[in-house]
Amino acid sequence: MPDDLKPADAVPAEKIRCDACPVMCYIAEGKSGACDRYANHAGELLRLDPLTVIQSGAQAVAFLDQGENAQDWDGDVIQGSRTFVTAVGAGTTYPDYKPAPFIVSQEVEGVDMVTVVTEGIFSYCGVKVKLDTDRHIGEERAIVRVDGEAIGHVMTSEYGSKMLSLGGVEHLTGGSKKEGRVTCDALLRLCNRAAVEMSVDDGVTMVVQAGHAPVINGVTEKLMRVGCGSATIGMFAKQWHGHVDEVVVVDDHITGILSEHEAGRGLDMTPSGIRVNGRRSTPGRYFQVADPGTGWGGTDVQDPLSILKPADAKKAWPGLRLLMISTTGEQWAYYVLDDALVPQPAEITPPLLAVAERIAENCEPSLCSVLFMGGAGGSLRAGVTENPVRLTRSVKDALTYVSCGGAEAYVWPGGGITVMVDVMDMPTNSFGYVPTPALVAPIEFTLRREDYGALGGHVNHIQPVETVIRKDNRRVAPNASQPDPQDSRNYRWTRGKP
């Protein structure tokens, strides 16, 4: 009989049972559990990763009423040796009745603050991924796979970016065991900023890594488009004026034609007679000039002339100068119309080349952004208070500030505590897993001590911060872009709805 199925009294004495998650591993001396987070050390269950502390938080301000008693902030960004205890390495509250592993008090500018930290077991969790690229990765709702298993799908595109929704309880627990394991592993690696190779049904293969450019079909993306074809014309029309007779900006969504566009009309440009395929929206703006793809402007275009119709002989003229360019400026081609009004390749002029370089200069670097999203359920809330709904209300009323590994978490409106956080703002290796399968993510709730008592918190388990900080704690510097979890401007001090 496997050890994990034996009754407790049949388990060899050298093994201890871990109760940090529903798997309830029996762990031998010197070994770790299935999650590699807890181990048996001389018969004692230990959390292997060190508790992570943010050393010297940013912008500590007195927690006073936001009125006539407000104290002026002196502008000191780093407040000496003040620390913020994160939940990274803290341990979990499983089973649900246990208080959070650390409930830490700290005086900040004369106000006693409490931070409740725990590593939550998130079955209801996933990531939202933003890929800064025009390349077509797959149709909306197309399945995203890792090792052949479905882990998510393609969402609606955003301006200059493709979006993915990965994970979620249906993939973690609603499919086969392999699908759940693969999904959990992919989410863990993405949240810990590791590279994950994935494929899209009837689409591309790609490598996604937070903080790095996406790699699509083996090619590393470089630039996020400056705008759609119409917006590009609006931004650079004056710089093209006088140097060219027509510009076509190729784009998957809105391809623009300069002389027909309102920007060209405003510059009194002569209609060129250059015509493109597609559906005309408004003057100079065309939809569906080509199919989506990995070519020019997110289309399947490799030869830009393939999107042109024959020029209008009543408007076009021999010698007409034509520039075709993509929305990143990475692809361009220059032509001059011959006597038959057929575009012939020509050497681009320095002013036009300079504008192409200016477009590229105005494009931001391609980037993969990974945002963890999870629902804080019963175990988390019960670890904070005996009356969990009061924590939910306190968060909604902005009396309690929610952070993940010290990073600001966006709390979705509506019921429950559904949080979203950029993994790049969190300490490295903030995430773990349990084989149920589910992710383990840090979450902190910070509020005034008197408010913590009012919501029925576990006040008897509060520890002064000095007793928690040890030499073996992992210390990380704060992210300057993140607000301080203990900054008074993150809270409302009047009860009820503001």
Residues 146, 112, single domain; the answer is: no
Band of residue 480 on the pLDDT scale cut at 50, 70, 90: low
In this structure, the answer to whether residues 307 and 247 fall within a common structural domain is: yes
- 177, 258: one domain: no
Domain that holds residue 283: 229-361
Identify the residue with better confidence: 241 or 4.
Answer: 241
Give a yes or no: residue 372 inside a domain: no
Residue 366 lies in a domain: no
pLDDT tier for residue 491 given thresholds of 50, 70 and 90: low
Residues 384-412: what's their mean pLDDT? 93
Per-residue pLDDT band at 67 (split at 50, 70, 90): very low
Task: Say yes or no: 71 and 41 in one domain.
Answer: no
- Please check whether residues 399 and 428 belong to one and the same domain: yes
DSSP code, position 300: S
Question: Omega of the bond prior to 437 within 30 degrees of 0, cis?
Answer: yes
**Is residue 465 predicted with pLDDT exceeding 50?**
yes
Q: Is the pLDDT of residue 212 over 80?
A: yes
pLDDT digits (tens, 9 = 90+) for 276-333: 999 999 999 999 999 999 999 999 999 999 999 999 999 999 999 999 999 999 999 9
Contact 246, 261 (CB under 8 A): no
Three-state DSSP at 309 gives strand
Instruction: Mark whether 233 and 356 lie in a shared domain.
Output: yes
Give the domain-ending residue among 198, 220, 242. Answer: 220
Judged by DSSP in three states, 3 sits in helix
Domain closes at, from 182, 197, 220: 220
Which residues, in sequence order, are CB contacts of 28 under 8 Å at separation 6+?
A: 12, 14, 15, 40
Least reliable range by pLDDT among 83-97, 216-230, 302-316: 83-97
Task: Name residues whose C-beta falls within 8 Å of residue 475's C-beta, 6 or more positions apart in sequence.
Answer: 52, 53, 54, 55, 83
Q: For residue 492, is pLDDT > 70?
A: no
Are 207 and 138 in a shared domain?
yes
Integer CA distances (angstroms), 465 to 56, 80, 107, 343, in order: 14, 15, 9, 74
Say whether both 39 and 68 belong to one domain.
Answer: no
Domain end call among 220, 254, 281: 220
Tell me 306's DSSP state.
G
Q: Which residue has the higher pLDDT, 72 or 220?
A: 220
Do the Cβ atoms of 488 and 110 come closer than 8 Å?
Answer: no
pLDDT given for residue 83 in this prediction: 83
CA-based nearest residue to 411, from 431, 396, 397: 396
Percent of the chain whose predicted confidence (pLDDT) is above 90: 71
Q: What's the one-letter identity of residue 351?
A: P
How many C-beta neighbours within 10 Å does residue 42 have? 7
More confident of the two residues 77 and 182: 182
Backbone φ and ψ of 390, nearest 5°: -65, -35
Q: Look at residue 13 in the predicted model and tell me its pLDDT.
A: 57
Closest to 120 (Cα-Cα) out of 387, 432, 406, 411 = 432
As a whole number of angstroms, the longest Cα–Cα distance in the chain is 96
Residue range 472-492: mean pLDDT, rounded: 69
Does residue 55 register a pLDDT over 70?
Answer: yes
Q: Do residues 193 and 367 make contact, with C-beta atoms less than 8 angstroms apart?
A: no
Asked if the structure places residue 455 within a domain, the reply is yes
Shortest CA distance to 283 belongs to which of 314, 257, 312, 321?
257
For residue 464, CA distances in Å to 101, 171, 467 come to 13, 41, 6
pLDDT digits (tens, 9 = 90+) for 318-344: 999 999 999 999 999 999 999 999 999
Same domain for 161 and 211: yes
pLDDT at 343: 98
CB 50 within 8 A of CB 89: yes
Domain annotation covers residue 371: no
Higher pLDDT, 308 or 65: 308
Q: For residue 244, is it within any domain? A: yes
Does residue 474 sit in the same domain as residue 414? Answer: yes
Q: Within a domain: residue 144?
A: yes
Structure-block tokens of residue 80: 């000496």
Note the pLDDT of residue 93: 82
Average pLDDT over residues 377-388: 86
In this prediction, residue 80 has a pLDDT band, given cuts at 50, 70 and 90, of very low
What pLDDT is recorded for position 251? 95
Which range, of 3-7, 111-115, 446-450, averages the lowest pLDDT?
3-7
The chain-wide mean pLDDT, for the chain, equals 88
498: CB partners within 8 A, 6+ apart: 397, 398, 492
User: Using CA atoms, how far apart are residues 435 and 35, in angstroms rounded to an integer?
Assistant: 7
A 10 A CB-CB count for 91 gives 22
Is residue 412 within 8 A of residue 422, CB to CB? The reply is no
Please give the Cα distance from 112 to 447 (Å, whole number). 9
Write the pLDDT tens digit of every residue in 146-200: 999 999 999 999 999 999 999 999 999 999 999 999 999 999 999 999 999 999 9
Instruction: Read off the pLDDT of residues 348-367 as tens digits, 9 standing for 90 and up.
Output: 999 999 999 999 999 999 99
175 Cβ contact partners less than 8 Å away, ≥ 6 residues apart = 149, 150
pLDDT at 301: 96
Q: What is the tally of structural domains in the chain?
A: 4
In a domain? residue 370: no
Calpha distance 114→447 (Å, rounded)? 6
Q: Is residue 368 part of a domain?
A: no
Mean pLDDT of 194-222: 97
pLDDT value for 230: 96
Half-sphere exposure of 10 (CA within 13 A, CB side): 7
State whether 245 and 324 are in the same domain: yes
Same-domain pairing of 132 and 116: no
Q: Which of 59-68, 177-186, 403-412 has the lowest mean pLDDT?
A: 59-68
Q: How far apart are CA 301 and CA 293, in angstroms?
A: 7
